[in-house]
Amino acid sequence: MSRGHGRVEALILDLLNGSSEHWSVLALAAAIYGDPADAVRPVHAGAVRRALSNLRRQSKAFSLGRMYVDSRYGQGWPVIAWASKEVARTHVTRLVKAFGTAGIDRSLLALLPAHETGP
């Protein structure tokens, strides 16, 4: 029987649900552990990745794929962006309107009503 979310998972949920933006692993680790974003310890980043993986399986955190996130955290290269359900839904709605459904992850398409994804 599950005992609920761990400390890192709960903090990630608070950050994702309290924001209208997407986050990188390094940004989440910096916010949770109080490290400067350019000095996040690998063990902290690993804990955040494991927690995000668990939250993704529970459909509470969504990977938006690789994108250029704030350069302070991504150092100018694409990183995997994570978001809450609402932010992910907004993101995928914009993608579908601009490019159609081809190439969009099924877990993200499932956030949209059937009439928005087409046949």
**Does 66 fall in a domain?**
yes
Query: What's at 52, amino acid-wise?
Result: L
Mean pLDDT estimate for the chain:
86
Look up the CATH number of the domain holding residue 43. 1.10.10
Answer yes or no: are the C-beta atoms of 88 and 62 closer than 8 Å: yes
**Does 41 fall in a domain?**
yes
Number of structural domains, the chain? 1
**Does 94 fall in a domain?**
no
Q: Each residue of 71-117: pLDDT tens digit?
A: 555 456 788 999 999 999 999 999 999 998 888 888 899 998 875 65
**Does 43 fall in a domain?**
yes
Is the Cα torsion angle 84, 86, 90, 93 positive or negative in sign? positive
**Does 44 fall in a domain?**
yes
pLDDT for the residue numbered 38: 72
Sorted by sequence, the CB contacts under 8 Å of residue 58 that are 6+ apart come out as none
CA 62 → CA 66, 83, 92, 93, distances in Å?
A: 12, 5, 11, 14
Can you tell me the mean pLDDT for 4-22? 92
**Does 40 fall in a domain?**
yes
**Does 114 fall in a domain?**
no
Which residues form the domain of 15? 7-84
**To which H or E segment does residue 96 belong?**
helix 85-99
**Does 111 fall in a domain?**
no
pTM of the model: 0.83
Answer yes or no: are the C-beta atoms of 25 and 8 closer than 8 Å: no
pLDDT for the residue numbered 70: 59
